[in-house]
Structure 1
């Protein structure tokens, strides 16, 4: 669906459930890593999402919120279940929803990528690879997941969040099930694509039934794993086709994985959005609104994607880390472009560490980092995670 020429960024977008997003810019999910190590939001995290809401985004998504503490991606993840403290989650929901902003929780399960120092990683199949070792989930463990996701979604609704996004991208659990490279099962959850997407569709059905027809439910999907033998674009298009008949309100298209040594979409060079070509092909498979995340660096790129009908909503991540007020500036008619840092030969994971610590800086109202702070940022990032792993083990056991 092409947006009109006039006010292309500020046009509202109505989702199938009836909820209206005030404009076409979203803060896509990132691991802000600001949980307290016990699965709860911190004051800094509350300020962070309040600042993004003040900056003018229509939708803001909190990355990797876990239903249990057993398969978290990082010790800064949030855990939302019956043991969580309602008031601090409600405070986060209130702060991130000001300025008519939709604040959603991304429902996650890291599976094989669960942080091994404080968990027991399990995926669709057992793996023993350099830097990655995990067991296989049993059928009963798999069959318990739809209800687990649904319980978390219900709590999100009860605590005041605007919606949820199911994470089926970036190499985490549902992405692992979709990928023939990591899903070697021979039962009803493996083999042909129909089986590999079974768990994802069961989770969608359970979540939608639990939250009712009027609460937004999105999904994040890989256009490609960017790995030889992984999910291919033609298979991803078939997944989009299957999603068209579900209760999903928004398909958030991204790509790549966080498997050790795998290329990261967000760290690669290039001046343009990464997945618009796939989104254009996906448009023929679904009438669901499409959000495209990855590689948007300029106002012109964002406007073109929406104007040409390739995306209904554009997801920004690192652009909103370096300038959280960017949407408001664009709306006011200025054309400032975010100034991204440049790094010379950063180590694997180093750029992610820098951006994560930059998030911490502006959440705390502190001075922005420079690219020369990369080494210090990596050290601070690793030290903080190590400290919170100890807190996590003490609090949750294991």
Structure 2
């Protein structure tokens, strides 16, 4: 009998060969010019060849004023369209779907002295952000919509809006950051308005059959956690009405969780699924074994998303399906800093192998 994760899935306007999704993680492999490198293409090739039914790219920049990293893949101009075609063809050759995640860093943007946030606030390193004007909100929305159109022109199977992890869209949704008093603040309807206008704009520009996915935090650091749960129930009903294909849940605290923790957000995801069963979901966070993947499926969640374990082992799922032990990933999150110290190296285990080889070369052993 086959594993549950190997079952195909029919979503609105999107057919998946299995239930495994590579969750968007920043690869640190692009060039500083915003173009994919050979290392980036090889990463996608390895993922597609190892039972990843759906690949979601790392977050792609929709606006030069909203770049999150110097090695981020850009999609804010037509000149960036061709680079996606090769990656998409690589995924399609293995019958994997290829989804482009699009994002604006908001006040976390680099190379920008005029930082803007949902509201004016002090930032780290003695910097400050001013509040976005309504005109700027509309301009950013247009950038998201244009980026989605470019992804479609490249042949992508859809786009995912990055509305998690304290980037701009998540800051509008989360009451921790959004204290606006106009129509883009207040209750969840106002706080979700910018994201909704982007979804509507993408469907208008790309057609209603072009899949739009969304990644959102399942939790909040705001004191009203129960209210945020109710907000997520409202959001799920809303995205269903808007024709969103899949909601991927992540969370705000995954970096700080114990290294031996697993399935961080499953309990809350199940509660939400029970309240809004009609919305297809995927869950990322603390997936370390085939048993973890199967537990997500058994709980009624349609897909399972994997992030850091695929950085440590691109063939993680293949190994698990062959009877392997749990992932070597220990959730140390060094993959967020190691590439800055050693470009091209994404995991401590890979770095240890490199160091061992260097030492052996020096000693002749």
TM-score, reference length from structure 2: 0.88
The answer as to 2:344 corresponding to 1:360 is yes
State how far apart, in whole Å, the 2-side matches of 1:23 and 1:359 are: 33
Q: 1:81 aligns with which of 63, 76, 81?
A: 76
Label 1:302 to 1:358 Cα distance change in 2 as closer, same or farther (>3 A): farther
Equivalent residue number for residue 307 of structure 1? 298
Distance 1:130 1:368, change over 3 A: closer
Q: Cα deviations across residues 338-361 of structure 1 (Å, max 9, x unaligned)?
A: 112486xxxxx7552237889934
The answer for the alignment partner of 1:249 in structure 2 is 245
Consecutive unaligned residues of structure 1, counting only runs of 5 or more, are 257-263, 344-348, 374-398
Provide the C-alpha distance between the structure 2 equivalents of 1:202 and 1:118, rounded to a whole number of angstroms: 25
Q: Which residue of the other structure, out of 258, 264, 286, is the alignment partner of 1:274?
A: 264
Higher relative contact order, structure no. (Cα contacts within 8 Å, ≥ 6 residues apart): 1
Whole-angstrom CA distance in 1 between matches of 2:315 and 2:338: 20
The residue that corresponds to 2:159 in the other structure is: 164
What TM-score, normalized by structure 1, do the two folds share? 0.81
Cα distance change, pair 195–163 in 1 and its aligned pair in 2 (3 A): same
How many Å apart are 1:308 and its aligned residue?
A: 2.5
Find out whether 1:124 has 2:118 as its counterpart: yes
Task: Give 1:51 shift.
Answer: 1.0
Could you say if the C-alpha distance between residues 195 and 227 of structure 1 is closer, same or farther in structure 2, counting changes exceeding 3 Å?
closer
- Mapped pair 1:317 → 2:307: yes
Q: CA deviation at 1:370?
A: 3.1
Alpha-carbon shift at residue 34 of structure 1 (Å): 1.7
Equivalent position SS for 2:4: coil
Distance verdict in 2 for CA 1:282–1:146, change over 3 Å: same
Alignment partner for residue 369 of structure 1, among 351, 354, 357?
351
Equivalent position SS for 2:282: strand
SS at 2:329 equivalent: coil
Aligned length: 351
The CA distance in 2 between the partners of 1:253 and 1:342, in whole Å, is: 18
- Check whether the contact 1:71–1:114 (CA below 8 A) recurs between aligned residues: yes
What is the Cα deviation at residue 151 of structure 1? 1.1
Tell me which moved more, 189-198 or 238-247: 238-247
- Check whether the contact 1:47–1:95 (CA below 8 A) recurs between aligned residues: no
| 2:17–2:53 contact (8 Å) kept in structure 1 | yes
**Partners of 2:198 and 2:319 in 1: how far apart?**
38
Q: Are 1:241 and 1:286, in contact at CA under 8 Å, matched by a contact in 2? A: no
Instruction: Give me the CA root mean square deviation.
Output: 2.7
For the Cα contact (< 8 Å) 2:338–2:346, is it kept in 1? no
Query: Shift in Å at residue 75 of structure 1?
Result: 1.1
